[in-house]
Amino acid sequence: MKKLFGATIAISLTLSVTAAPLTKSDFDASVKLRENWITKTRDLMFPVSWLNEKHEFAYRQSVEGGFGYFVQHAETGKIRPAFDQEALAQALSKAAGEEMSALMLPFETFRFNHDETAIQFSLHYEPWECELATMHCAERSFGDARPRGFGVVRDLRVSRADAVITSGNGELNVTEDGYNLLISDANGNQLYRTTDGVKDNFYDIDSISFSPDGQALSTMKVVPGEPRYVTRVVSSPEDQVQPKVVTQLYPKPGDKVDFDQPVIIDLKTKKQFVIAPDRIPGAYEMRIYGWHKNSDSIIVRYLQRGHQREEMLQMDRSNGAVHAMVSETAETFIYGWTGFFHDVDNAGKEIIWRSERDGWAHLYLINGETGEVKQQITEGEFVVRDVQKVDEENRQIYFSANGMNKDEDPYFIHDYRINFDGTDLVALTPEKANHEVYFSDDMQYYIDIYSRVDLPNITKLYETGEATPIRTVAEADISELLDAGFQFPQTFVAKARDGKSDIWGLIIKPQNFDPNKTYPVIENIYAGPHDSFVPKSFWPFGYHSGGDKVIGMQALANLGFIVVQMDGMGTANRSKAFHDVAWKNLGDSGFPDRILWHKAAAEKYPWYDISGGVGIYGGSAGGQSTLGALVFHPEFYSTGVAFAGCFDNRMDKIVWNEQWLGYPVDESYVASSGTEHAANMTGDLFIIVGEQDSNVDPASSMQVVNALIKAGKDFDLLVIPNGEHSAGRSTGPVDYAQRRQFAFFVEKMKQQRTPNWNKQ
C-alpha cells in the first residue's frame, strides 16, 4: 500500500495502462462517438410541449436513423406527424445556408405558434420560425426595442425617434418627442406630453406599459449609464479578404449602469408621478411588472446594486405613493435569477414569494399590504426549484423541488402540489429518478419524463387531480446502444470540506476498462454558482439535460482515462450555506471538496490513479476554474485545457460577476483572478478561445497569455478565427478543437506520442 495525497492506494495488484501509441483511428472514433451513437436508441422521448388549450402534446422521439417529431392525443393515444420533416429540412437548409437532414433537424425543442400554422425553435442560439403551409423559414423578429447590454445599459447608438407604441385596444399611441414622450389618441390628437426630459434624464419609450382601463401608462425615466464597448477584429470574414471590426455594448463589473425611475402618467387627471431616487438608492435593476387589474397601481421590481436587497414595490396611480409588498435582504447575495413572485388575483393583497431566508429555498405567502409573512408554505431541508402553476381558485401551488426524499440523490427533481397554507402536500412523481413534468394548459393532465444516468427515459401520462397514472407513453429501448459498447456512468459520493455535506459526482471509464490496470484521472469542471451541473438524467443526445457532457467525457475516457465530474460547495440547488461558499470567493471553485472527492475515490478504487496529478478541463466559468486549478492548486492538478475562460472577473460581463463577487469591485475580484496569479502555474495548460466570443471578452484569454509570457511559462494556445463562445465545444470546428484537446491530455498525462495529422 502507498500513501498519495493523503489517500491509501493499492498498487500491488495493478498494472500501468499500456503505452502503445494511439492511432488516428482511435482519435477519430472518440471524436465521432456522439455521431456514431446518436441513432442507436428507439422511443427515447424528450422533450414535450402541450398544444394551446388542447389535450394534445408535441414531442421529439428517437426513431431509426435519427429523430421524429410527433403530436399525440392524451385521451385517445392517436399519433400524427408534427410536420413534414423532409420538406422542413429542405426549407431550413435553404434559409440557413447549411445542409440539414430530415431525421437530424438541428433542434431538440420546438413549439407551435398560437394557431398551429408554424413551429418555433432555436438555431445557433437564435430564434427561428417555419410556416408549415409554405415551408418558409426565417429568423424571428421581436421588434425594434433599443438593445441593452446585459439588461442594465441601453445602447443609445440605436435611435427610437420613429417608434410608435400602441395600446392593446388601439386607442393610444406614444412617440418620442426629443427626450420626452408624446401621447396621442388614434386620430392623432395630443393628449399629454412630458416636458422635463433631457439628454441625461430621458423618458424611455421601450418601457411603456398601459393600464387595463386605458387611461394611464407607466414608463421609465432614465439617467444613462456608461456605454462600454468591446472591440473585436474579425480576422477571416467569409465575404471579403480584409479584416473587419465589430463592437459590442458590454458593461463590466463596476461600470455605471442606467438609473431607471418608474413613472406613472394619468391621462384623466393629467398628473404624473416618479419614484424619488432616495426610495431606490443604488438601483441596479428596475423592472415594471405591469398594472394591477383595477388600474390603481403598478408593480415594480427593485434590485439594489450588490444583490443584497430586493423589493417588489407597489406604486399608486393617484398620488405616486410607494410601499414594499415584499422585501428581501441577505448578508451575502440574493440569488435573484431563480426568484419567484406571484400576485394572487393581481390585487396586491397576497404575494407568493420564493426566499432563502430560513437557509433553504422555499415558498412564502406574504401580506402584500404590510410585507409580513402570513404563512411559510414549504419548509424543510430541500430546495424549491420552480413553480409551474398557481391555482388561485383552489389555493394550491404546483411546484418542483429537489432534496425532499432523503433516500436518493438530493439533486433529483420531483413535482408536488401543496395548499397555500402549507397543508396537503402531494407527490406527483413517485419514482426514484430525475423528473421533468409538463402540464396541459387546463392542468387536467401532465406528462412525466423521468430517468437517471443509469435509467433510460420513461414517459408517463397522468391525470392531475388524483395524480393517477393513465398510461406509459414511451419507454426508451437502448439495446442497440448497449451492443455498441455504451456503459452507464458510475455515481460516487464523498464528504465535503465541512465533513457533513455530500458531494455527488460521476465516474466514466473507458469502454475497454480493465480493473487490473490503473488510469490517470481527468475532471470535467463547471463550478458556476448559478446552478448545479452534474447530469442527473439519461443521455438524450442534447445539451438540455447534460447529455453532451456525458458523451464528451466518454469520448475522452476511451483514450485511456477515467473522466469525472462533481458539484462542489459554492454551486446552487443545495442549502444557502452550501451556496454561500461562492460569495466573494469565485476562485474557490469548490476545489477543497473536489480534491477530497478525488482522494476518496482513489482510496476506494485501485485503478483510480491520481499519483501523477489530476487533469482538468472546462469552458467559460469552467475555463476560469481550469486555470484556477493550475494556479491555486498546482500540487494536485497537473494538466488543464481551458475553453473561452473568464479568467479575470473584472473583464467579464457585469450581470454574472457582480451577482457573486458583489459591488463595488474590491480585492475579492483580484483574489479570484487566474490572470493575476498566472505566475504560480507549474503544470501544463492549453487555452482555446473563439476570436468572436460575445459572451466572454476574448481579451481575457490574451491577458492570461500575456501574464504567462511575462512569467516565462510554457503553454499552448489555439485561437479559432470567427469562433464564438462555444467554439471547440458545441458549434464551430468542434472535431478539430476536441481532437486537439484529447491529444494534449494524451501527450501530457500519458507521455505518449500522438499521430501526425499533417501527414496523410
Quick: pLDDT tens for 139-185.
Answer: 998 778 999 999 999 999 999 999 999 999 999 999 999 999 999 99
- Report which of 530, 529, 624, 604 is spatially closest to residue 564, judged by C-alpha positions: 604
- C-alpha dihedral over 381, 386, 391, 397, to 10 degrees? -10
pLDDT in tens, 331-386: 999 998 899 999 999 999 999 999 999 999 999 999 999 999 999 999 999 999 99
**Cell 418542483, residue located:** 400
Question: What letter represents residue 492's amino acid?
Answer: F
- Please give the pLDDT value at position 19: 59
- Please give the pLDDT value at position 660: 97
Residue 632, C-alpha cell as written in the block: 491555486
Q: Half-sphere exposure of residue 260, counting CA atoms within 13 Å on the CB side? A: 28
- Report which of 440, 390, 459, 398 is spatially closest to residue 51, judged by C-alpha positions: 440
Alpha-carbon distance of 751 to 745, in angstroms, equals: 9
Is pTM beyond 0.85 here? yes
Q: What average pLDDT is seen over the chain?
A: 94
Question: What letter represents residue 439's amino acid?
Answer: F
Residue-level length of the chain: 760
Q: What percent of the chain has pLDDT over 90?
A: 92
What CATH architecture does domain 2-38+480-749 belong to? Answer: 3-Layer(aba) Sandwich (3.40)
> Where along the chain do its domains lie?
2-38+480-749, 45-141
- Please give the pLDDT value at position 542: 62
- Please give the pLDDT value at position 6: 38
Alpha-carbon distance of 296 to 294, in angstroms, equals: 5
Q: What is the largest CA-CA distance in the chain?
A: 92
- Please give the pLDDT value at position 729: 52
Alpha-carbon distance of 738 to 360, in angstroms, equals: 39
Q: Half-sphere exposure of residue 607, counting CA atoms within 13 Å on the CB side? A: 15
- Report which of 343, 338, 388 is spatially closest to residue 361, judged by C-alpha positions: 338
Alpha-carbon distance of 643 to 4, in angstroms, equals: 30
676: left (phi over 0), alpha (psi -120 to 50) or beta: alpha
Beta carbons of 264 and 319 less than 8 angstroms apart:
no
Alpha-carbon distance of 297 to 357, in angstroms, equals: 28
Q: What percent of the chain has pLDDT over 70?
A: 95
**Cell 486537439, residue located:** 740
Blockwise average pLDDT, block size 10, the chain, 760 residues: 37 46 94 92 95 93 96 97 98 96 94 95 92 96 89 96 96 97 97 98 98 97 97 96 98 98 98 98 97 98 98 98 98 94 97 98 98 98 98 98 97 98 98 98 97 97 97 97 96 98 98 98 97 92 61 95 98 98 98 98 98 97 98 98 97 98 98 98 97 96 98 97 77 74 98 90
- Please give the pLDDT value at position 368: 98
